[in-house]
Structure formats: C-alpha cells, structure tokens
C-alpha cells in the first residue's frame, strides 16, 4: 500500500440499538486532498472516523484504500488523532512518540529519529524528557498530532484537530496538514470552525443526522445554493417591495438590503427595481460563507 491513492467510504451504516449513528454514508478523500468534515454535535463525524480506523466496525458498508478494503495491517498505516485526546500522562514525551512509532512497525532507531524531528518541528525539543502531564494543553495537542504523524502515515484522520488551539498553533497545524496533503496523502479532519475549514480545505463534506447532505468544494456548494445581492438604496421606503418574482429580502440594515435570488432569476431585474427608487449606491454580488451554506443545507435537510 502506497501513498497517492484514494480513501473511499462506501455506503457505511452504524446503529446503536434504535439510534442511527451513521446511515448509508459515502464519500471519497483523494490523494493530496484536505477534506473537511463538518456537522453538528452528534451528527456522526466521530463514529465515521472510528469506523475508518477500525476502532468501531460498521454494520454495513466498507472502507477502501487504493481500491482494496482496509485490513488490520493497512489500517495501521493511518495516522489518527481521536476526538478524546489520549496519551499516557506520566510517560515522557519523546518515549511516548517512540513507543507509538515502534507499535506502528518502525525500528527503534527510525522511531527515535522521527520523534526528534517532530518535536523539533513543533518547537518542543527541549521538553522531550518531560512527562506529558507537565505540558500545557496546547502543547499536549501538538504532541497528539506528532503521535499521529510520527510513523509517516499513508492517510491522516484527525477528529477536531483545531479544537482548543491558539491562533499561532492553528497556523502551524494547518501548515502541517497542507504539507502532508501536498506529499500526496489523503487528509480528513472534522471541525466546527467553518471559517477555518473554508480557508484550509480543498473539499468539504457536511453530515447531518448520520447522512452526508452535501459535499464538494466550497464553490461547488455555493453553486448549488441561491445567489445573493446586496443593494444600497437610500431613498427606498422602509417597506419597499421589489416586486420581482423569485427575489426575497433576507435582511435589511438601514439603507442596505440583502436579497436572495432563486436559480435562473436575472439580477438585472432587481437592479432596475432598485434604480426605480432613486440612486443606487451599491449593487454587489455576495458569496455566502461556508457557515451560511452550512445553515442552509442543514435547514433544508431537516425540512
């Protein structure tokens, strides 16, 4: 098994008694791609990641890498950062990384060198002989990421890697993830920070109640949604009715109005209606943020 291949999640389902955790979920994470996995709490993100890692088994469906179903041995090549951070609190930082490297099949010398390299990279070389519990939470999180990277994984699966990080640490984390993706491995991570996901990820998957409700690049997600225009019309009456079919007022802020256009509606009709009220100071196309897209998608899925 080599890097440069696709991770396929193929129609997986998992239920706990009557509770459906994941239902018929399918998506791909391509080689060299950063895939952001977003969804509300309890939507099924962690369950999906645990199934990929084989820590949980799916009731139905399979996970493939490079076209072949994941086995125990190929799963060992996945770097994993669980949502519940977990390392030995009383073990020395460098020993911990070495141990995990060896468990993943590295020789002692390789594991030692790799642990040192990642400690250097995260600026923690001087703390190498400290017990993990002596480190700040942010530094513990860096070690947790190093634990996922130490053996040179073929796939990275990270559950909420940015949670609790300060802005500088966020930069380091996203740089490392980008670097790993650029090296040709599929990287999937979950996050609640949609702005960050929008900035960092190549593609996004939105999961709700165990189902994938949208996936694609942020632009692709936008293409599926409604276009928006912001219009500044100082002379318009407060109860100004545009009177153009397929155009809805979304919000109103003084003289500035935000409209949403149904697919296929010509925005020039809106502009003419605006000009009819008097001067138009601004007429701009507004791209919805991932956060807005997320809310729209979730609302539609729930409807």
Partner 1 sequence: MNARSLSLGGAHHLPATFLVARREVRMRMRSRVFVGGTIVMTVLVVVGIVAASLLAGKTNPVRVGFSGGSQALERSFTATAASLGASVTVSDIADVTAGKAQVTAGTLDVLVTGSSTAPTAVAKEAMPSNVESALSLAAEAARLSDAGLSPAAVTSAMALVPVQLLQPPNPKDNENLFASLALGILLWIALGQYGNMVAQGVVEEKATRIMEILLATIQPSRLLAGKVIGIGLVGLLQLTIVGAAALVAVHVTNVAAIPALGVASILGDIFWFLLGFLFYATAYAAVASLVSRQEEVQSAVAPIGILQIAAYLLVYAALPNPTGPLATVCSLLPPFAPILMAVRMADIDVPFWQVGLAIALTVASIVGLTWLAGRIYANAAMRLGTRVRFMDAFRG
How far apart, in whole angstroms, are the C-alpha atoms of residue 149 and residue 136? 20
Candidates 145, 99, 96, 146; CA nearest to 119 is 146
**Interacting residues with partner 1 between 167 and 206 (CB under 8 A):** 183
Q: Does 154 bind partner 1 (CB under 8 A)?
A: yes
Residue 94 within binding range of partner 1, rule CB under 8 A: no
Two tokens, residue 24: 């018929």
For residue 160, state whether it binds partner 1 (rule: CB under 8 A): no
Residue 188: in which H helix or E strand, if any? strand 187-190
Answer yes or no whether residue 153 interacts with partner 1 by CB under 8 A. yes
| 43-82 residues near partner 1, rule: CB under 8 A | 50, 53-57, 72, 75-76, 78, 80, 82
Q: Does 105 bind partner 1 (CB under 8 A)?
A: yes
* Cβ proximity to partner 1, 88 vs 300, nearer residue: 88
Task: Taking each helix axis as running N to C, give the angle between helix 93-103 and helix 137-149, from 0 to 180 degrees, rounded to the nearest 10.
Answer: 30
Dihedral angle at the C-alpha atoms of 143, 144, 146, 148, nearest 10 degrees? 170
Q: Which stretch binds partner 1 (CB under 8 A): 92-100, 162-170, 208-216, 232-240?
A: 92-100
- Determine which residue in the list 30, 64, 117, 256 makes contact with partner 1, applying CB under 8 A: 117
Are the CB atoms for 231 and 243 separated by under 8 Å? no
Name which of 242, 246, 245, 248 is nearest 272 in CA terms.
Answer: 242
Instruction: Point out which residues bind partner 1 (CB under 8 A).
Output: 3, 50, 53-57, 72, 75-76, 78, 80, 82, 84-91, 95, 99-108, 110, 113-114, 117, 147, 150-154, 183
């Amino acid at each position: 098994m080599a890097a440069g291949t696709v991770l396929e999640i193929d129609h997986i389902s998992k239920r706990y008694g009557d509770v459906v955790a994941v239902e018929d979920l399918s998506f791909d994470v391509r080689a060299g791609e950063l895939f952001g996995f977003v969804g509300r709490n309890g939507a099924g993100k962690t369950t999906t990641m645990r199934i990929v890692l084989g820590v949980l088994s799916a009731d139905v469906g399979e996970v493939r890498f490079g076209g072949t179903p994941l086995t125990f041995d190929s799963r060992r090549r996945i770097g994993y950062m669980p949502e519940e951070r977990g390392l030995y609190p009383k073990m020395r930082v460098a020993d911990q990384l070495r141990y995990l490297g060896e468990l993943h099949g590295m020789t002692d010398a390789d594991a030692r060198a790799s642990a040192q390299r990642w400690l250097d990279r995260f600026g923690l070389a001087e703390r190498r002989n400290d017990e993990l519990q002596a480190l700040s939470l942010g530094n513990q999180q860096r070690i947790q990421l190093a634990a996922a990277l130490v053996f040179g994984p073929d796939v990275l699966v990270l559950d909420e890697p940015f949670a609790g990080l300060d802005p500088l640490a966020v930069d380091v984390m996203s740089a490392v993830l980008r670097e790993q993706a650029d090296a040709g491995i599929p990287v999937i991570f979950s996050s609640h920070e949609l702005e960050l996901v929008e900035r960092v990820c190549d593609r996004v998957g939105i999961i709700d109640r165990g189902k994938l409700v949208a996936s694609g690049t942020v632009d692709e997600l936008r293409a599926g949604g409604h276009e928006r225009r912001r219009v500044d019309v100082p002379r318009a009456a407060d109860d100004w009715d545009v009177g153009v079919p397929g155009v809805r007022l979304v919000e109103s802020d003084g003289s500035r109005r935000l409209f949403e256009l149904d697919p296929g509606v010509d925005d020039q009709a809106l502009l003419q209606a605006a000009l009819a009220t008097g001067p138009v100071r601004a007429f701009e196309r507004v791209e919805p943020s991932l956060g807005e897209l997320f809310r729209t998608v979730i609302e539609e899925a729930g409807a």
